[in-house]
Amino acid sequence: MKFKVVIEKGEDGYYVVTVPSLPGCISQGKTKEEALRNIREAIELYLDVLQEKELERTGKVEVEVAEVIV
């Protein structure tokens, strides 16, 4: 699964990364590389929570975790 991410440089010099298709999924890092590593982890955690909620709701899991390619 691929996700498009938005990378912006904040006023504090950190890079902020958001995932438009996953509301509230956001991370940051001192460098672009660190920010991208961090957003990968944030996406995995976000999808884990979705998976848990889906399992609780339906007893089925229809969410998968994949690597982000930018």
Q: Which domains does the chain have, with CATH numbers?
A: 6-58 (3.30.160)
Per-residue pLDDT of the chain (70 residues), as tens digits, is 789 999 999 999 999 999 999 999 999 999 999 999 999 999 999 988 888 876 667 666 565 666 677 6
Per-residue pLDDT at 17 = 97
Per-residue pLDDT at 70 = 67
pTM of the model: 0.75
Per-residue pLDDT at 52 = 80
Per-residue CA distances from 3 to 12, 20, 57, 60 (Å):
26, 9, 25, 23
